[in-house]
Amino acid sequence: MTIKIERGRKYSAQEAKAIVDGLYAKVRERWEDRVNQRPFMQQLAAGKLPFKTLQLFFRNWGAYTIEINTLTACTYHRNITFLKVNRDLMGPIGEKIADEFIHPKPPGHFLVMMETAKALGLSEDEVFTSSMLSEFRGKIDFMRSIVYEGSAAISRSPSPCATSPHAGSRGAARPPSARWCCGPPACTRQEPPPA
């Protein structure tokens, strides 16, 4: 199923719901294939996953939870230019980020995970200070690089300031030989490329 979303188009509630329902269907399908049908989940569901494996997973999942929540909060600032234009999204996105940190109580969802980790015999120190497996660390590093450095598509595109109607005097097109001094899309200061 191909889902086409036109940037800048205002969709009716019915059209938006159909798009979101399509996205959810794609996620469910991928989850079934990439999670439920894998040995870890198959053994867990069958009650055959070794206890040490479950402890190892939760020790890493706990460390991952702490870091991914802080990265989620950073995305609000990283996308503030977009949110200034799409102010109707500030509330829902802010609410989602806040939820991560305030429910069931501060510091948030991390507490629920930590209760499970403790039930599995893991201490807070094990979760907070143990090195993560490379698969967990790699995903965090990938997400961090997207948040702070942008994707390959963003780094090869003009700054949103260069094409946006709200850009004002910063909207001048950048010369092809210029590069962004501290990474797109937030920075508008240009420096010549290194000699």
Distance CA 47, CA 73 (A): 36
Of residues 119 and 153, more confidence is placed in: 119
In a domain, 165, yes or no: no
pLDDT per residue over 60-99, tens digit each? Answer: 988 888 888 888 888 888 889 989 999 999 999 999 999 9
In a domain, 30, yes or no: yes
Which segments of the chain does DSSP mark as H helices, in order?
A: 13-31, 39-46, 51-78, 80-85, 90-102, 110-119, 124-129, 134-149, 152-155, 160-163
Token pair in block for residue 114? 């930590």
Contact 97, 109 (CB under 8 A): no
Contact 58, 120 (CB under 8 A): yes
Report pTM: 0.64
Buried b vs exposed e over 97-122: b needs ≥16 C-beta within 10 Å? beebbeeeeeebebeebbeebeeeeb
Range of the domain at 120: 50-153
146 & 78 share domain: yes
The rounded Cα 121 to chain-centroid distance in angstroms is 29
In a domain, 119, yes or no: yes
The rounded Cα 153 to chain-centroid distance in angstroms is 16
Q: What's the pLDDT score for residue 33?
A: 95
Q: How many domains does the chain have?
A: 2
Token pair in block for residue 161? 């300031």
In a domain, 65, yes or no: yes
pLDDT per residue over 33-60, tens digit each? Answer: 999 999 999 999 999 999 999 999 999 9
Question: Angle between the 90-102 and 51-78 helix axes, to the nearest 10 degrees?
Answer: 140
Q: Nearest to residue 185, comparing CAs of 71, 89, 81, 70?
A: 81
Token pair in block for residue 27? 């996620």
pLDDT per residue over 103-136, tens digit each? Answer: 899 988 888 889 999 999 999 999 989 899 998 8
40 & 110 share domain: no
16 & 63 share domain: no
97 & 27 share domain: no
In a domain, 66, yes or no: yes
Three-class SS of residue 47?
Answer: coil
82 & 95 share domain: yes
Q: Nearest to residue 63, comparing CAs of 116, 112, 124, 18?
A: 124
Distance CA 136, CA 41 (A): 17
In a domain, 177, yes or no: no
43 & 73 share domain: no
70 & 102 share domain: yes
28 & 61 share domain: no
25 & 87 share domain: no
Residue 35 makes CB contacts below 8 A (sequence gap 6+) with 41
